[in-house]
């Protein structure tokens, strides 16, 4: 029986957010948190001198609660200038204008990078004396409009293709701006290689038709960017240089069929340089192109070994989700910072945000229009060739202990409970004991007789009638059982659980007792019990089975060195300790195809006296072995629910995704937006929700419509051993306007 949630991570999960933790950007620069003020053109600088002034001093100082501030785009030369009211950095006067701003930001504890910008073909000839608008090729951006030197809205004009011998001069302009930034006291520079500006148009095949060494192949089109990075290192060490790319965007007539390949190439080339960070605009701030494969943060992290910054369209919880995934280290926030200068403080204290700024206020030139953001969480997902889930939300397996305590059969309450929650794409049942020996929880269900099978049939049919899929979770309680249930408590070794308590067959609290070590020749029989249960589940109409190899139950205790001290082929090395689980997976394939078998691990947890020093290595090993089978999914509990073990490295969804090539399910204490964040990261494909589903049977509909959630279910209602019957189980209401006064918003 798990204890009531008492860790700070559960009582106030926001205070445990990675988002608010310091981050060492390099050996010299530590950020006070992982929030970044994204570079946003606001067009309020002096329109003649292009110098920042009192407004910019106030603007950046107000927002210095972020760990890192990246300035709005700052032009590196007169030729590169092309936005009314934007700032520049190519004269000593520009340098001196920025100095008090940098000092004020530093006084608040934040760090500040200057974004280096050449507008390229987006410019207008009225801005410079030479009336010179340049690009890699003479290809105009025809969509939308630009502004002229008087802030009038005008059409973009044809640009001139740069001569090959002009390119070193442009690189020199960037270097001069970088040197002036260093003299002004900035902590580093950010290369604007995104959004259809000069550097991005060299990368993009739609805008670069050159036939010299700067056009054609990926290597040639990336040449100017790589030469620029190399040259900038004469002004700044590499770990003070960041880069911003937008391979998924379409702003400024971008979006090339080979953008994915280009991004991966550039990321790999820069990975050895040791840059401060690589920022990926992974969200559709101004639309997403459809000409080729889109880039995820997972792609960035796999190809670039330094800090990765997520950017565009993140909420607080989405950001936390992507940080928890392990594929991003920092998150940039733009629009929320516009109307919330104290955004970090609001996020940390769960204070409401101000109304979003009207788009007409974004720019001093009052440009209109922007696109929104659609949640991946609500899109269908093809689990395998036969099963398509209607959304990416999974009902987590939750022991609720309301089944018949004598027959261990599912009944009318379970019919209602699962039917109410069938808005999820996939339902995983509460843990279901696979044998009499494997049973050990008062009020839990079983699946080892035909009567058990038949009791589940109407539940499965009801779920299917609502368009959801349902897997049964196969469970052997192992050493956490009590001898009053069957006289036989077993484990891989005679090592008892000492923390907490269990319950006996009369539902009374009782201490854990010493378990018996399984004999080697008993193990095939236990695997046979799992297989029989899986066969009965198939006959009951389930869509698949989920192996419960988490939370200190039997398969997990074989994996864990703290509970497995065997000396036979099932103990000792990681390969031996995982043998039981892998043999079980192979055995189950005699009953179900591999793509109907899921598996659940908890490498970070402490529940049931788990938490081994080599759990990270074990999880990676098991994930890699399981990858070859083609399982339906691998679900990992990241530890938020009942605390984290501190004996070894923690496992993140990214670690799982690196080793397991199939569907990854993120699980444990996700909100709608942290769930969306981990999906956007690319490290997970589905997200499992448990506690929010207890009191919100219509959770999916609430998430979609941004309706508030019911208050969380009290711990006393979680298990029928404490509160038997329907109360706190099937009596939570679906949303109605009259409920909203007492509800809480969790996004």
Catalytic (active-site) positions: 197
Cα(129)–Cα(113) distance, integer angstroms: 29
The torsion angle over the Cα atoms of residues 223, 226, 227 and 232, rounded to 10 degrees, is: 160
What is the helix (H) or strand (E) element at residue 622, kind and residue range? helix 615-627
Strands 388-389, 153-154: pairing is unpaired
**Euclidean distance between CA atoms 638 and 605, whole angstroms:** 7
Six-digit token string for 232 = 């900038």
Please spell the DSSP secondary structure of 455-505, one letter per residue.
HHHHHHHHHHHTT-EEEEEEE--GGGS-HHHHS--EESSS----SS-EE-T
Within a 10 A sphere around the Cβ of 57, how many other Cβ atoms? Answer: 18
**Cα separation, 120 vs 271, whole angstroms:** 26
Map 431-442 to HEC letters: EEECCCCCCCCC
CA R_g for the chain:
29
The C-alpha atoms of residue 469 and residue 697 are separated, in whole angstroms, by 16
CB 706 within 8 A of CB 696: no
Rounded to whole angstroms, how far apart are CA atoms 492 and 566? 7
The phi and psi torsions of 648 (rounded to 5 degrees) equal -165, -175
CB 126 within 8 Å of CB 148:
yes
**398 to each of 393, 428, 646, 688, how far by Cα in Å?**
15, 8, 25, 11
Q: Is the distance from CB of 371 to CB of 286 less than 8 angstroms?
A: yes
CA gap 593, 153 in Å, rounded: 61
C-alpha angle 660-293-290 in degrees, rounded to nearest 5 = 145
Say which DSSP state 733 is in: P
The two structure tokens encoding residue 68 = 């890192």
Helix (H) or strand (E) holding 531: helix 523-539
The rounded Cα 466 to chain-centroid distance in angstroms is 29
538: part of which helix (H) or strand (E)?
helix 523-539
Q: Is 628 exposed, middle or buried (0-12, 13-18, 19+ CB in 10 A)?
A: exposed
Residues 76, 89: Cα–Cα separation, whole Å? 6
Can you point out the beta strands (E) in 100-144?
A: 111-117, 134-135
CB contact at 8 A, 621 and 574: yes
Q: Which helix (H) or strand (E) holds 69?
A: strand 68-75
Instruction: Tell me the DSSP string of 172-230.
Output: HHHHHHHHHHHHTT-SEEEEEE-TTSHHHHHH-TTT----STTSSSHHHHTHHHHHHHH
Q: What tokens does 45 get? A: 């600088």
Q: Per residue in 581-604, is it b (16+ CB within 10 Å) or e — as a string?
A: beebbebbbebbebbbbbbbbbbb
Whether the Cβ atoms of residue 626 and residue 591 lie closer than 8 Å to each other: no
Cβ contact 296:653 at 8 Å: no
Please give the span between the terminal C-alpha atoms of the chain, in angstroms, as a whole number.
29
For residue 231, the cross-strand partners are none
């Amino acid at each position: 029986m798990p204890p009531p949630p008492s860790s700070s991570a559960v009582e106030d999960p926001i205070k445990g957010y990675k988002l608010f933790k310091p981050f060492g950007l390099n050996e010299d620069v530590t950020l006070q948190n992982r929030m970044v003020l994204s570079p946003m053109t606001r067009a309020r600088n002096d329109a003649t001198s292009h110098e920042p002034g009192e407004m910019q001093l106030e603007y950046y100082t107000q927002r210095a609660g972020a760990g890192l501030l990246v300035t709005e785009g700052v032009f590196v030369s007169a030729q590169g200038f092309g936005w009314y009211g934007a700032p520049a950095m190519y004269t000593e006067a520009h340098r001196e204008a920025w100095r008090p701003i940098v000092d004020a930001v530093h006084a608040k504890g934040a760090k500040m990078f200057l974004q280096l910008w050449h507008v390229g073909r987006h410019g207008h000839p009225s801005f410079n004396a030479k009336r010179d608008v340049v690009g890699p090729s003479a290809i105009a951006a025809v969509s939308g409009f630009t502004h002229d030197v008087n802030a009038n809205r005008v059409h973009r004009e044809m640009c001139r293709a740069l001569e090959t011998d002009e390119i070193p001069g442009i690189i020199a302009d960037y270097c001069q701006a970088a040197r002036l930034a260093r003299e002004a006291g900035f902590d580093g520079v950010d290369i604007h290689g995104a959004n259809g500006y000069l550097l991005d148009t060299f990368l993009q095949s739609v805008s670069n038709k050159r036939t010299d060494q700067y056009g054609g192949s990926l290597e040639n089109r990336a040449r100017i960017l790589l030469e620029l990075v190399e040259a900038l290192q004469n002004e700044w060490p590499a770990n003070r240089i960041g880069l911003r790319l937008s391979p998924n965007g379409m702003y400024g007539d971008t979006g090339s069929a080979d953008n994915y390949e280009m991004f991966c190439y550039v990321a790999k080339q820069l990975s050895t340089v040791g840059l401060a960070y690589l920022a990926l605009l992974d969200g559709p701030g101004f639309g997403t192109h459809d000409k080729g494969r889109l880039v995820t943060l997972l792609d960035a992290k796999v190809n670039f070994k330094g800090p990765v910054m997520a950017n565009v369209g993140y909420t607080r919880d989405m950001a936390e989700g992507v940080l928890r995934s392990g594929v991003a280290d920092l998150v940039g926030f733009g629009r929320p910072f516009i109307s919330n200068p104290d955004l970090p403080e609001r996020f940390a204290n769960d204070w409401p945000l101000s109304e979003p700024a009207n788009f007409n206020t974004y720019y001093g030139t009052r440009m209109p229009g922007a696109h929104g953001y659609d949640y991946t969480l609500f899109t269908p997902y093809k689990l395998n060739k036969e099963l398509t889930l209607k959304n990416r939300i999974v009902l987590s397996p939750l022991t609720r202990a309301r089944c018949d305590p004598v027959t261990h059969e599912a009944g009318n309450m379970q019919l209602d409970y699962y039917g109410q929650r069938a808005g999820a794409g996939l339902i995983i049942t509460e843990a279901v004991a696979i044998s009499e020996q494997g049973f050990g929880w008062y009020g839990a269900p079983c699946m080892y007789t035909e009567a058990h099978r038949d009791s589940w049939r109407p539940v499965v049919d009801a779920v299917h009638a609502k368009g959801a899929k349902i897997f049964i979770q196969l469970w052997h309680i192992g050493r956490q059982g009590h001898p009053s249930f069957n006289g036989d408590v077993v484990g891989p070794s005679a090592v008892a659980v000492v923390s907490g308590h269990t319950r006996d067959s009369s539902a009374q609290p009782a201490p854990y007792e010493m378990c018996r070590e399984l004999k080697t020749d008993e193990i095939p029989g236990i695997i046979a019990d799992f297989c029989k249960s899986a066969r009965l589940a198939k006959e009951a109409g389930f869509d698949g089975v989920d192996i419960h190899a988490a939370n200190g139950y039997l398969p997990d205790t074989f994996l864990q060195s703290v509970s497995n001290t065997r000396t036979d082929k099932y103990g000792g090395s990681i390969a031996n300790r995982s043998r039981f689980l892998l043999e079980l997976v192979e055995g189950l394939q005699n009953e179900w195809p591999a793509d109907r078998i899921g598996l659940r691990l908890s490498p970070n947890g402490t529940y049931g006296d788990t938490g081994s020093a080599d759990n990270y290595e074990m999880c990676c090993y098991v994930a890699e072995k399981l990858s070859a089978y083609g399982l339906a999914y691998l679900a990992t509990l990241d530890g938020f629910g009942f605390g984290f073990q501190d004996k070894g490295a923690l496992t993140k969804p990214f670690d799982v995704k690196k080793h397991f090539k199939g569907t990854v399910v993120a699980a444990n204490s996700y909100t709608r937006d942290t769930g969306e964040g981990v999906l956007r990261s690319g490290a997970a494909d589905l997200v499992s929700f448990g506690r929010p589903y207890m009191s919100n049977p219509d959770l999916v509909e609430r998430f979609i419509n941004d309706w508030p959630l019911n208050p969380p279910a009290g711990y006393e209602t979680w298990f029928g051993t404490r509160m038997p019957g329907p109360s706190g189980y099937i009596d939570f209401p679906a949303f109605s306007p009259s409920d909203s006064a007492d509800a809480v918003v969790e996004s």
